Chain A
Amino acid sequence: MVSRLARLLALALLLVLTALPARADDYSTQITALGSDSFADKDKAITALGNLGDARAVPVLQAMSDDRLRTGANGQVLIVSPTDSTKLIDALTGQPAEGVAFGDTSRVIVNNRLRGSIEGALGGLTLFSPDRDTRLAAARDALRHPSAESLARLQKAIATESDGEVRAAVQKSLYAAQLAGGSKEEQLKAVASLADDTDPRVKSLLDEFAATPNLDPEVRKATDAAIASINQRLQLIGILANLFQGLSLGSILLLAAIGLAITFGVMGVINMAHGEMIMIGAYVAYVVQQLFRAYLPPGLIDGYLIVAVPVAFLFAGLLGVILERCLIRFLYGRALETLLATWGVSLVMQQAVRSVFGSPNKEVSNPSWMTGGFDPLGGFTMTWNRIYIIVFCFVVLGVLALILNHTRFGLYMRAVTQNRDMARAMGIRTARVDALTFGLGSGIAGMAGVALSQIGNVSPNLGQIYIVDSFLVVVFGGVGNLMGTLIGALSLGIINKVLEPFAGAILGKIVVLVAIILFIQRRPRGLFALKGRTAET
């Protein structure tokens, strides 16, 4: 028993011992062959090195391609160091070659055909590179040019690969290679496996494969089924992606419009400076970020956004109250003149910001927890910043609903919205409600600005981009009604994004605008008009 085990061990040892030098020998033979005089031999050696899958060959082949490969007197192959052209390195060992004079060596001649072979060999070899990202890139690259020749290399790569993501990429390329050069069973398995993939390259690969003549009927059938299933999935993902983008746009519109809707509802005035409140909020985010960068340790920078939201709310809200006290209350009952006066305010604010901060865009960076995204289905990425904005928007909406429905101030606001004169007769101080409502609406605009700073640049005319759309949300949804604004904003956002693939971004937008103009004819007071006597006036 013991002796048998010992014999086995000895055999294993022997095998290992003989195998190692054999491989090493093969490698050194091929390296030496690179220095041969015949182009055909060199070409053979290059291909062999590529198939060997030994990462040590990479710098050698690279040097050969760059005309930095030389041969010594005794057939030794040497590399000219890429950094110092007088230094020679032994191609076999990778160590500096001592005692070889540069003058004793001669250049290895390379022609374009050889360069082509080198490129192919290098492409395969990078699959075995020690650097993970290089391997990943090589594996993905292999998918682009699947060939029967790469089959063996990919199989070897998958056997040694330990990183999960690279392994998956290699596997995908291997399936692709099997389509090109595998047996019928392998092809069937590859088709079945690729059918679950939504990578557009895989789809074009399968399309190409289905077009090859003389395909085995069984394989063809499987391929057609796979393409159909991929198409279905792609369509589904397209719809989901549209929905997500629509939801994202809708939540931005909602944030921009909601303040407008409550001021319009309560006071019956259109605040043209609302967009500038958004802009101010975005600049608050910028300033807070700069302050964090300047005065706080770098580790805290991610927190700037948390601070910016309340600061923007307070700052824009305060501006709103000042605007109401100093201007709008004098124009009470003159809605159109309020529109013009607030337009004037918006011009002044834009110019003021431009004077202080300059006209170029300011950059507000995402905190680390908002960068990147994730890909739930394969095919489209949901970015964290947009997800957070959607969540933030619904939190704001929820808090606002609570304020409106469960606080005294909310009760007053609703009362004034429904019937101002009666509310005043009941002892509600409508002037105060007006000022606070205006402050609240502007404050929400300020927070919207912070959110917008996370998905785009901050510039003095930021507010102008959203103002027309947010008016439309308000008139579409109906005033004084959070539900109307919510539905108005989301449906506008989603309709816009759903139309985009068919009609293009601009035409889609025009269609939406015309649709709203027509809609207003049917429902002059929006989707959710206030009902009752007062609403008629």
Chain B
Amino acid sequence: MKNVKSILLAFLLFVPFLYACQEKTDVVESGTYQGVIDEVEAEKSEIYVKTEDDKRLELYFNESTELTQNGQTVNFDQLREGGRVEVEVEKVGNRLEPRAVRILE
């Protein structure tokens, strides 16, 4: 009985840790940046990109975001963690609007 209680207790307390802790993000000026995709959140159409100067950009895709690979429009599911991308962002206030995302490899 004590073992069952211990397992239930451990399970109950482990579940929340399935959520990863969040990292800080950076704001950059409008422009084009190259980097590696750090994280993809498909359900939110969101990616995090680590730029070459170690900035972490949080980018929410919108209707006007163009996602391309070799000049062809591709779907969001083509984005992979660790993949290299070039992003064209516009800074609106402190929010980064992704105008274009190009998959480089």
Are A and B co-members of a single complex?
no
| Partner-B contacts on A (CB < 8 A) | none
State the B residues within 8 Å of A (CB). Answer: none
